[in-house]
Amino acid sequence: MKQFFILAAFNLLYFTSTSQELNCQVSIIASNKVEVSTVEQEVLNQLEEVIRQFMNDTKWTKDNFKLEERINCQIQFQLENIPQPGVYEGMIQVQSSRPVFNSTYNTLLLNFSDQNVSFAFSRNAMLNYAPNQYRDNLTSMLAFYAYYIIGMDYDSFGLKDGGQYLQEAQNIVMNAQSSGAPGWSPDQTGNKNNRYWIIDNALHQLFEPLRECVYEYHRLGLDKLYENKEQGRIAIYESLNKLAKVVATRPNSFNITSFIQAKRNELKQIYTDAAVPDKGKLVALLKRLDPVNSEKYDEILK
């Protein structure tokens, strides 16, 4: 009997001290031009809860996470059209962040706006992800972002440690291409901001400096600011400078510009008390990396 209670106590401790990988907040909003009936709103409320459970309760990796180690992320659906009951069109905003060592600050890792989204959902439907299998568009999209979020997070803590999860995201893209749903294939109009391109770029050899940057910016830069602010800033600049190699061959790449823009306000705070020449050096680099948004980086000089 004593052994039984010891085993029960151990199991209770284990399950209360470990959890799944994601702490995902989910919201669904309808644009003003969409009329949502009472019945449809009930379905959307259920959809919101189903997505939340799917993202947070699915075991995406073989690693054990403590409750406080979960990856904080957000998914917001903005509905632009309901062409028929149970069919939804619009956009998804996906964000994820990770904590900075020796601080209460969380840094933005991913901020992606998926503009071309269409999926079906019916009342009481369940979402079940099966590796190497396409079941429906919504499940595949959510699984794609789960693995992309996890891959980015792992890359920020260990050099290219997120590779297997980014590869899983790419596998989802490949399996979903036969569905004909938007976002899974190269856009014929030349738009490279969809799921196909974001993961294709992430794993392409030309973009290896970006993955190196993600690691060095966070582990050698942000995480070291508390110990030595000057050395942390140097590491951050050097990590960003690696991206010049990518920009030289792939200018205006979405992967590069979205990363830099996600860090713009953060860099302004980090360089608040930096020497004027150091601020100018950083701003000059950011303008070379993201010339389309050059004026936005002048705020760092103020």
pLDDT for res 284: 97
Rounded Cα–Cα distance for residues 206 and 246 (Å): 6
Residue 30 predicted with pLDDT over 70: yes
The residues near 77 (Cβ < 8 Å, ≥ 6 apart) are 26, 27, 28, 29, 88, 90, 91, 92, 117
pLDDT for res 5: 35
Q: Is residue 229 part of a domain?
A: yes
Q: In 86-204, where does DSSP find H-type helix? A: 137-157, 163-176, 195-203
pLDDT for res 190: 62
Q: Is residue 265 part of a domain?
A: yes
Q: Is residue 221 part of a domain?
A: yes
Residue 217: give the domain boundaries: 204-302
Q: Is residue 213 part of a domain?
A: yes
Kindly indicate the confidence band of residue 12, based on its pLDDT and cuts at 50, 70 and 90.
very low
Q: Is residue 291 part of a domain?
A: yes
Q: 228-247: per-residue pLDDT in tens?
A: 999 999 999 999 999 999 99
Q: Is residue 89 part of a domain?
A: no
Q: Which residue has the higher pLDDT, 75 or 36?
A: 75
Q: For 63-67, 201-205, 228-232, which range has the lowest pLDDT when averaged over its residues?
A: 63-67
Structural domains of the chain, count: 1
Rounded Cα–Cα distance for residues 215 and 109 (Å): 11
pLDDT for res 145: 98
| pLDDT mean across residues, the chain | 91
Residue 248 predicted with pLDDT over 80: yes
Q: Is residue 282 part of a domain?
A: yes
Q: 71-109: per-residue pLDDT in tens?
A: 999 999 999 999 999 999 999 999 999 999 999 999 999
Rounded Cα–Cα distance for residues 301 and 280 (Å): 7
Report CA-CA distances (Å) from 27 to 33, 92, 98: 18, 10, 20
Q: Is residue 125 part of a domain?
A: no
